[in-house]
Amino acid sequence: MDNSEAKRVLSDQLARFSQRSYSELVRLVESRHVEDFEIGGASETTYGVEIQFFWDDKPNGVVRVVGSIDDGGIRAFIPLTETVLVSRPESVKT
């Protein structure tokens, strides 16, 4: 697996979720939603991507978005992972 390419692909996919509203991410956490899909890289490698959503520390706090990626080979056992933290906006903090 081309780790540099895989990191770029995963970062791009995580960016899609980090740009969503906090309330959208809360719904994904609460529904235990998992995004699971395949995507092609520039090298024509097909990568498996999984994105999960969790509370980072406590409910209704920071949302942790965890992404993992592999090419279906040996890396499927130890996928490359990356995390993005999304804080709740100041206007809705209690």
pLDDT confidence bin for 61, thresholds 50/70/90: very high
Q: Per the structure block, which two tokens stand in for 90?
A: 């100041």
Q: Per the structure block, which two tokens stand in for 91?
A: 């206007």
Strand ranges for 26-86 from DSSP E: 34-40, 46-55, 63-70, 80-86
What pLDDT, in 10s, does the model give residues 7-60?
999 999 999 988 899 999 999 999 999 999 999 999 999 999 999 999 998 999
Is 74 a residue whose pLDDT tops 80?
Answer: yes
What is the structure's pLDDT at 90? 60
φ/ψ region of 58 (left if φ > 0, alpha if ψ in -120 to 50, else beta) reads: beta
Query: pTM surpassing 0.95?
Result: no
